[in-house]
């Protein structure tokens, strides 16, 4: 989209994404919902146009952007560090375990950033673009919207080691993953709610294969996995190193491309894919929340919106901290890049 390209206004986009419950953002008073209204008024339409096209062209992109944003915010805070390329002096986050050959959607953020820079140079941060793009993509696949205060700034570094230490794992225990959430000011409820993002998207065989053949060293599959699903997954992910580890299985077998509460229904029926998903049913507190969300879509949507708001406030940079990158992959220095 060039600067002189006509932009079709979308009344729905301008109104709906800013419908949110009354939330205090006292944790960072420099952020505002109208932060770019004067400095970059075309921003909402640019986001909408790009994400509408991306969702039409790639049914996985909403899940990919949601995952990309989570992996950014949960590791050293929401600062777009996950978008940075490695340099000779910095081993960043992209190639760390859990991210490498797994994260997607970078090209969508790049395309949005290029158009935004054409209209309002060095004004809108990559982290705000990622947040807005994710929210719009989730809404376009029938998910909820959430309040998103803007004016966040991009970080100056990325850290390979931080990913290893801070990123929750699909193979980790509920206790371990909960500790990683609480270290960010999030809680057990946020973990259960944000796990509901697995209502869209896919997982690679390597992330759940341990459940299929030799669960916890038993030489047998996970006894709690649904028998029909087990047979399908064993065919898709055979017990050999032949390149099939990259094969994909839907996280929600019922409605893989639509954001809804079927993920929780699946867990109750024993068809949760990841070990971390299944673990939510092994704890009485989280199992109760799973059942509540499986019965009440509106409750899930409301709580998901609240948890996404909270996630987007983790480790935020604003004011004079951080920077506004011109290129989301590269930290800007005084004399250019």
Helix (H, G, I), strand (E, B) or coil at 334: coil
**Residues making up the binding site for heme b:** 198
Q: Where are the alpha helices (DSSP H) in 94-173?
A: 106-119, 126-140, 160-166
- Compute φ and ψ for 257, nearest 5 degrees: -105, 5
Q: Which residue in the list 42, 50, 71, 329 is annotated as catalytic?
A: 71
**Residues making up the binding site:** 72, 75, 77, 79, 81, 93, 168, 198-199, 252, 255, 260
**Residues making up the binding site for substrate:** 168
**Residues making up the binding site for Ca(2+):** 72, 75, 77, 79, 81, 93, 199, 252, 255, 260
Please answer whether residues 131 and 31 qualify as being in contact, where contact means their C-beta atoms are separated by less than 8 angstroms.
no
Please answer whether residues 80 and 325 qualify as being in contact, where contact means their C-beta atoms are separated by less than 8 angstroms.
yes
Any long-range contacts for 45-48 (C-beta under 8 Å, 24+ apart)?
45/7, 45/8, 45/9, 45/10, 45/13, 46/1, 46/7, 46/112, 46/115, 46/116, 46/119, 47/13, 47/112, 47/129, 47/132, 47/133, 47/136, 48/10, 48/13, 48/136
278 is catalytic: no
Q: Which residues contact 259 (CB under 8 A, 6 or more apart)?
A: 62, 138, 141, 142, 143, 144, 199, 200
Taking alpha carbons only, the member of 30, 7, 22 closest to residue 125 is 30
- Compute φ and ψ for 203, nearest 5 degrees: -130, 145
Q: Which residues are catalytic?
A: 71
């Amino acid at each position: 989209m060039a600067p002189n390209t006509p932009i079709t206004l979308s009344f729905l986009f301008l109104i709906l994404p800013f419908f949110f419950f009354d939330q205090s953002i006292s944790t960072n008073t420099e952020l505002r919902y109208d932060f770019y209204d004067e400095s970059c008024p075309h921003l909402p339409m640019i986001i909408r146009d790009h994400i509408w096209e991306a969702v039409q062209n790639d049914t996985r992109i909403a899940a990919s952007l949601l995952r990309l944003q989570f992996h950014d915010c949960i590791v050293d805070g929401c600062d777009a560090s996950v978008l940075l390329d490695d340099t000779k002096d910095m081993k960043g986050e992209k190639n760390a375990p859990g991210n490498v050959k797994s994260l997607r959607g970078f090209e969508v953020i790049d395309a949005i950033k290029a158009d935004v820079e054409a209209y309002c140079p060095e004004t809108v941060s990559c982290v705000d673009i990622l947040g807005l793009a994710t929210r719009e993509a989730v809404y376009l696949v029938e998910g909820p919207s959430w309040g998103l205060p803007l004016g966040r700034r991009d970080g100056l570094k990325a850290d390979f080691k931080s990913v290893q230490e801070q990123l929750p794992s699909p193979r980790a225990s509920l206790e371990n993953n909960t500790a990683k959430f609480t270290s960010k000011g999030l809680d057990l409820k946020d973990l259960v709610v944000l796990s509901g993002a697995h209502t869209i998207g896919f997982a690679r065989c390597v992330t759940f294969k341990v459940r299929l053949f030799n669960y916890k060293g038993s030489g047998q599959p996970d006894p709690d996995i649904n028998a029909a699903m087990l047979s399908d997954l064993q065919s898709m992910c055979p017990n050999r190193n032949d390149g099939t580890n990259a094969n994909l299985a839907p996280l929600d077998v019922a409605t893989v491309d639509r954001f809804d509460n079927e993920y929780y229904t699946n867990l109750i029926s024993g068809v949760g894919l990841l070990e971390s998903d299944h673990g939510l049913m092994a704890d009485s507190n989280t199992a109760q929340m799973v059942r509540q969300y499986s019965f009440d879509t509106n409750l899930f949507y409301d709580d998901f919106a609240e948890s996404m708001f909270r996630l987007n406030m983790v480790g935020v940079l604003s004011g004079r901290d951080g920077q506004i990158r011109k290129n989301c992959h590269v930290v800007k220095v005084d004399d250019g890049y």
